[in-house]
Amino acid sequence: MTKQRLKLGVNIDHVATLRQARGTSYPDVVTAAAICESAGAQGITIHLREDRRHIQDADVYELRRTVDGTLNLEMANVREIVEIAAEVGPDEVCLVPEKREELTTEGGLDVVGQRDAMASTVGILKDAGIKVSLFVEAAADQLSASRDIGADYVELHTGTFCDATGDEANAELEKLISGARTASDLGLQVNAGHGINTANIDRVLEMPHLDTLNIGHSIVARAVFVGLETAVGEILDRMAAYGGGRL
């Protein structure tokens, strides 16, 4: 069996952050997405937040028209955004928890605790022909609940591992590895994301069964120095070493 290549979804939210900081029309997210795709990224990820702090509604519609690869829309489980998603029809939606005061997404979804509300949204999105991913911690109960309510993918939250050092990082990585195994055994496709950069990616690649890594902040930050195309290329070069992780 030929192994499928590990895919990269570039999260371009922070290109929009720079634009929104001054209320300008630049830098243009459509151009950014095109550069990422021509550099070899298989997908573009955007998060339409309730507070619209970076990506705007018009961006979502424009990117739907222009992105050739996979368009992955991250969003909270709120009616207004679910309606936009169903209308726009991204290839994938990744449901995430969202708090207004947070700097970035904190923690994974509580699929167990919010099972009915999640199941109803997963149904709406799947009826609209959209693949659904749930952003969760690598915990067995959250993974089986994700499978039970019909998710196609889980995106395992790598943020705690990426921020940790020493023994704590080792322990967090073991949780991610066992979470990826459990998710795959449940028949879920496995993505991972949050906080991944060139300093920690080699260890993230120890995770088995990975389909896609969603990486944003570190790529956009690196692009300030080397340009977006090179920044995407650097990450893809590192990802090319993926040998299937620790099975």
- The residues annotated with a catalytic role in the active site are 47, 74, 194
Binding to ligand PXP in span 112-131, by CB under 6 A: none
Of 69, 193, 208, 245, the residue at the interface with ligand PXP (CB under 6 A) is 193
- 38 scored as a contact of ligand PXP (CB under 6 A): no
Nearest CB to ligand PXP, comparing residues 94 and 236 = 94
As measured in angstroms, the least distance from the Cβ of 215 to ligand PXP is 5
Using the rule CB under 6 A, give the single segment among 166-174, 180-188, 210-218, 230-238 that binds ligand PXP.
Answer: 210-218
Helix axes 29-38, 57-66, angle to 10 degrees: 30
**Closest CB to ligand PXP among 104 and 120?**
104
Q: Decide: is 216 part of the binding site for ligand PXP (CB under 6 A).
A: yes
CA 37/CA 160 separation, integer angstroms = 28
At closest approach, how far in Å is the CB of 144 from ligand PXP?
20
* Residue 125, phi-psi category: left (phi > 0), alpha (psi -120 to 50), beta (remainder): alpha
Considering only residues 71 through 90, tell me which ones interact with ligand PXP, judged by CB under 6 A. 74
CB nearer ligand PXP, residue 184 or residue 200 = 200
* Beta bridge pairs of residue 137: none
Q: How far apart are CA 223 and CA 179, in angstroms?
A: 32
Cβ proximity to ligand PXP, 135 vs 161, nearer residue: 135
With 0-12 / 13-18 / 19 or more C-beta atoms within 10 angstroms meaning exposed / middle / buried, residue 209 is buried
Radius of gyration (Cα) for the chain, nearest Å? 17
By CB under 6 A, residue 154 contacts ligand PXP:
no
Interior angle at CA 209, CA 208 and CA 212, nearest 5: 110
Phi-psi label, residue 170: left if phi above 0, alpha if psi -120 to 50, beta otherwise: alpha
Contact positions vs ligand PXP (CB under 6 A): 11, 13, 47, 74, 94, 96, 104-105, 135, 155, 193-196, 214-218
